[in-house]
Structure 1
């Protein structure tokens, strides 16, 4: 049978003319940021493998499917060879039907195996990521306040969402892609050698230039893409800052809207230019690579046509070989990317493990003591308590001896930085003392679970945080099993029920982002109702009215007085007029108790407390 251009030209060159196969990308370069992450927080393969140990059986099935699917896919070129060499020339209808049926069967089998592989690998990946995501979230919940003050909120969100989602891609896509590429590249190379070792050697000579050109184009585009990513990040920051509620209010009050629009226009213009550059980057190199790929089938045909190099090759073998040759480029590039893929994957695991490995300073004890909130008296005692913030040489609190009898109202007063809020944070176990102990009803807080402490101690702070949901759900956040009647009773105690029922949607009113639709006093009373709903034995009021005007403060103070009745209450006072009736006033100065007594007793002593009172009276006058 005579070889014609029509018979030789199209089948073998498919996917090779005009450049590399669609979607082919150059070998990746290891990201310096990934390498730095692994240097600072190394992670072992054994630890990563431990995550997949419970899924050994489905993993083995996935690997087996990849190997079988790759092997089955290599059958098609051999079927093509026999179809061209035997079935069609000899007009063997039975063989023709058998070979065509085999081609269809290969497609059905490989696609079916692909569906099963995707189902299994996605399931494994999702279960592993679910475990990591929930473990990381729970671990972060246990971290001390100092961790959150030094860590950006966006960084935490990135670890929980972006990094974990990227790890899902690693598990379901990258890992299977690596296995598939290795299997396919090895299998294709073996099949090519079986068909013609001479043409295989020719292919090995031609492939390296194409790969080198692709690598250079990829690097050039990566540099521009990095700049584009930075520009996109800047633009997203502008959107977040300018279109948040606080940002919009600021823009409107200072009339910066036109300037912000101009700045956004410039950022968008820069991003547009970079995207165009990225698409055009290395276009001449891609053209050169297209020439190389157009030359590959031509050289193979030349070698097959010369008596010295053909080795008596049939047309069917040549078509089968060029089909394999066209399919080789992509898995070879995939194999070359393995190093970068592994580094990138390890860096993702490192970033998540970095947070999981952070020590938990405040944790539940191994054998906790339980104090029943229903029967707790609420007696608080601080015995020889001292506290140092991490990295600080100066003690925030020193040798605090203080007793809060059950049901008493105790006020902490002092200048800014005297240690009031620090002491309150120890009572609610947001921090643990460096020395000494904090006890409720005689039990050290460190001997209780954090949940038990949370059920005993309620905190109302100056900075009120409301969730972007309904008022009802904001209140129920403190006690998920609360009934509507209990929610309304707590709101009445906090003097906010009438306000809520006066709203169009009542308790189902959406509070808005951070409760923006309510005034400071209204938010404070909603937060107070949330705390009341938990019915704590000990109540900590951390300057709960300091940010309010006088009229609003009086309304909130009435609610606080009502709620505090019958509870042990520790009040951090900014305005001393609000604590005149406290059972005990404790004066702090530079982390030490310098005075204690009632309002009248402390005024008679004419000490530090009297100085603070007289100073506020002069300011008010």
Structure 2
């Protein structure tokens, strides 16, 4: 079997990036065409003004034939010179509205498309990538190209048309003076290309630094991160870590701001001294020392210098925006890198929904082999450790004729075959790192098996639609995730359009309704970041209520009662008993007392299924389960420290603890 490693997509060229940007703007082509018309009209009007200026001097004020001042013509020229800036300003307002609408809409589309694409990525992608890095590309990188999408296309078009029109007008006025203006342009273009490449490199490093800062913020300022820093006294260390990256970001920002400043200073200086050169050359032209002096008049000279002055700003803007485009290409490449990552787990074209049968829920593992894929890394994103169970001892993989030899990698699960009948409670036990959680992650297809198949009611999960699979398999994890919303919203998240009565009934079945109603705001109480305003047992029962509202046919419980006090565990256990009624349940438990009544218990060790049977059968067999059971209960006896109330074990009262004494009590 050939082992494949997911790698970052190849870098795309500038032409390809520009084509993809054009496709992003394609839905707005009609609006862009209207903008182009407005730009052309504005540029035409702007280029007309110098010719009116020449007419003012040569035909109205100082007629070349020596006649008197022509007041009638002067009024017409006055009207034209006033109308042009007024009309141009009105056109500019409409142009700004259209470009802002196009650019911001295209940026919103880009952000939404990227978010939708990330939603399709497999779990392994997120376990191998920092959340802050993903957030940075979604926020900082997309925001970084705002100017390109909102103004750049119009700015390039407008200034290009203005520059072209101005040059044409200048040639018509005096080709000799125009040649003087253009003489250093090739040098400017060469320098601009070099400056643009440097700014691209700086822009990429800047975004990578921003990504790292976002990751530090997300990790350190989350509730979990703050708690960890306070527990270990690492607050100052985290501050120093952020300060170092912030200093690096500042240095890069300064470097980006200064790159090209000398270049633009030279360009501005050239345009500032050009009029003096024009006057000097004009003197030679008018004295006949340079051929063509007869075409130069005072009006022509004024009109030409006016055009040359008006040419300066659009030409500098065009150079500046071209550099901005080159800089933004680095950001677009980072964004498109995510788009180019194809989800490793996709819905097949011929996928069909799992049938909603009343007595369904049969789960079958057929010779399943699985190992976690290598994390996918992208340029500038520091890849975290591979998510998954602790490394296992290497297991020889099943041979395939003609298979290419690949570097040895350990199997997390090797040759797992088991069946769970509809309505059964199946428990998976084993030492830490044996593959228990991995087994449950394969059922809802968080990962795909490498070999073999997993079936629900006879249908391979890879042939099922994502929607039906999500509706059929529910999960309650050891640390349930609650978002920063109301308790009602956290429960209702499982079922779109759920009624108030359905949510409250699910809460009652999960033994959490009364506790919710004890809060001042009731169901409108805010859970807090990751539910930190609630106790562990409250979060567990909310998660159970959410699953009950979902009503799946297969329920997965991953250490749902661990780390709970006795009274809370009893409440959670009662809720779980209701949750498991009438549906297939797969439970992972380190507390073996919670799964003694399971219909079938599977023992995993080093990714291999080593035994299965009932509690009594496995104890009698003396294998893995018996060893774990006796290690946990010390030969069948449990030492308890009494506090308040009574101690429960396997549903039986051990002892009344009101005496406050210690005792060893047999299970």
TM over 0.5: yes
CA 47–208 in structure 1, closer or farther in 2 if over 3 Å, else same: closer
C-alpha spacing 1:228/1:436, structure 2 compared with 1 (3 Å)? closer
Q: 1:450 aligned to 466, 469, 472, which one?
A: 466
User: In the alignment, what sits opposite 2:176?
Assistant: 198
Given candidates 532, 544, 550, the residue that maps to 1:534 is 550
**2:534 alignment counterpart:** 518
1:321 and 2:304 are equivalent in the alignment: yes
Match of 2:70 among 74, 88, 92: 92
How far off its partner does 1:271 sit?
7.6
Distance 1:254 1:464 in 2: 24
> Is residue 2:596 matched to residue 1:613?
no
CA contact (8 A) 2:131 2:218 kept: no
Are the aligned partners of 2:556 and 2:586 in contact in 1 as well (CA < 8 Å)? yes
Compared with structure 1, are the counterparts of its residues 419 and 226 closer, same or farther at alpha carbon in structure 2 (3 Å cutoff)?
Answer: closer
Q: Which residue of 2 aligns with 1:149?
A: 127
Question: Does 1 or 2 have the higher relative contact order (CA < 8 Å, sep 6+)?
Answer: 1
Cα offset, 1:263, TM superposition: 7.7
Tell me the CA shift for residue 257 of structure 1.
Answer: 5.4
Deviations 1:282-340 (A, max 9, x none): 99998877765543222222333442355463333222212221222343345556775
1:466 is displaced (CA, Å) by 0.9
SS at match of 1:74: helix
Residue correspondence of structure 1 range 223-372 to structure 2 within 5 A: 243-254=221-232, 292-306=270-284, 307=287, 308=289, 311=294, 313-336=296-319, 340=323, 343-344=326-327, 346-372=329-355
Task: For 1:170 and 1:582, locate their aligned partners in 2 and report how far apart those are by CA, in whole Å.
Answer: 61
1:376-432 C-alpha deviation (Å, 9 max, x unpaired): 522222223222322572222223222211111110001122221121112222122
Measured at CA, do residues 304 and 129 of structure 1 come closer, stay the same or move farther in structure 2, by a change above 3 Å? same
Q: Which residue of 1 aligns with 2:366?
A: 383
Q: What SS does the corresponding residue of 1:43 show, helix, strand or coil?
A: helix
Counterparts of 1:159-174 in structure 2, within 5 Å, are 159-174=137-152
Task: Decide which of 426, 445, 463 is 2:479's aligned counterpart.
Answer: 463
- Per-residue deviation, 1:206: 5.9
TM-score (norm 1): 0.82
- Could you say if the C-alpha distance between residues 288 and 350 of structure 1 is closer, same or farther in structure 2, counting changes exceeding 3 Å? closer
Residue 526 to residue 332, structure 1, CA distance change in 2 (3 Å): same
- Alignment partner, residue 29 of structure 1: none
Map of 2:118 onto structure 1 = 140
Paired residue for 2:35? 62
Report SS of the residue matched to 2:410.
Answer: coil
Cα 1:279/1:560, change in 2 over 3 Å: closer
d(CA) in 1 for partners of 2:362, 2:195: 72
- In structure 2, relative to structure 1, the CA distance for the partners of 1:511 and 1:145 (3 Å cut) is same
**Aligned partners of 1:343, 1:281: CA distance in 2, in Å?**
13
Within-5 A mapping of 1:389-428: 389-391=372-374, 393-428=409-444
* Cα distance change on mapping 1:531 and 1:280 into 2, 3 Å: closer
Match of 2:562 in 1: 546
Worse-matched range after superposition: 410-419 or 211-220: 211-220
The question of whether the paired residues in 1 share the 8 Å contact of 2:200 and 2:330 is answered with no
Deviation for aligned residue 1:609: 0.7
Q: Quick one: structure 1 residues 455 and 265, their matched pair in 2 at CA, closer, same or farther if it must change by over 3 Å? A: closer
Structure 1 counterpart of 2:512 = 496
CA distance in 2, matches of 1:523, 1:102: 75
Paired residue secondary structure (2:352): coil
3-state secondary structure, aligned to 1:495: coil
Structure 2-normalised TM-score? 0.77
CA distance in 2, matches of 1:368, 1:226: 41
* Corresponding position of 1:24: none
Q: Deviations over 1:218-271 (max 9, x none)?
A: 999999999988887777666555544334434544555567678878887888
* Larger CA deviation: 268-277 vs 57-66: 268-277
Q: Is the 8 A contact 1:37 1:347 kept in 2?
A: no
Query: Following the alignment from structure 2 to structure 1, what is the Cα–Cα distance between the partners of residues 56 and 493?
Result: 71
User: Is the Cα–Cα contact under 8 Å of residues 204 and 330 in structure 2 kept in the other structure?
Assistant: no
Counterparts in 2 of 1:314 and 1:453: CA distance versus 1, 3 Å: same
- The Cα shift of 1:44 comes to 6.3
Match in the other structure for 1:584 = 600
Query: Distance between the aligned counterparts of 1:305 and 1:604, measured in 2?
Result: 114
Counterpart secondary structure, 1:402: strand
Shift in alpha-carbon separation, 1:134–1:565, aligned structure 2, 3 A: same
Task: Show the counterpart of 2:591.
Answer: 575
State how far apart, in whole Å, the 1-side matches of 2:122 and 2:248 are.
41
Segments of 5+ residues of structure 2 without an aligned counterpart are 1-8, 63-67, 375-407, 640-667
CA distance 1:500–1:36, shift in 2 (3 Å): same
Contact persistence 1:210–1:292 (CA under 8 A): no
Question: How far apart, CA to CA, are the structure 1 residues paired with 2:352 and 2:199?
Answer: 61
Retained in 1: the 8 A contact 2:435–2:604?
Answer: yes
For 2:199 and 2:15, locate their aligned partners in 1 and report how far apart those are by CA, in whole Å: 29
1:560 shift after superposition: 1.4
Instruction: Choose which of 553, 562, 569 in structure 1 pairs with 2:578.
Output: 562
Name the SS for the 2:372 alignment partner. Answer: coil
**Structure 1: which 5+ runs fail to align?**
1-34
Give the whole-Å Cα distance in 2 for the aligned partners of 1:334 and 1:324.
16
Alpha carbons of structure 1 residues 289 and 75: separation in structure 2 relative to 1, 3 Å: closer
- Cα distance in structure 1, aligned partners of 2:198 and 2:17: 32
Q: 1:71 aligned to 2:44?
A: yes
How large is the RMSD of aligned CA atoms in angstroms? 3.8
Secondary structure of 2:16's partner?
Answer: coil
Question: Which residue matches 1:38?
Answer: 12
8 Å Cα contact 2:476-2:556 kept in structure 1:
yes
| Deviation sequence 1:57-103 (CA, Å, 0-9, x none) | 44433333333322221111222222233334554333233223222
Q: Cα gap change, 1:156/1:214 in structure 2, threshold over 3 Å: closer, same or farther? A: closer
Structure 1 residue 113: Cα displacement:
3.2
Distance 1:421 1:267, change over 3 A: closer
Alpha carbons 1:214, 1:286 under 8 Å: kept: no
Q: CA deviation at 1:596?
A: 0.8
Secondary structure in 1 aligned to 2:12? Answer: helix
SS at match of 1:452: helix
Aligned length in residues? 586
Distance (Å, rounded) in 1 between the aligned partners of 2:326 and 2:206: 23
Superimposed CA distance per residue, residues 490-520 of structure 1 (whole angstroms, 9 cap, x where no aligned partner) = 1111111122111111111111111111122
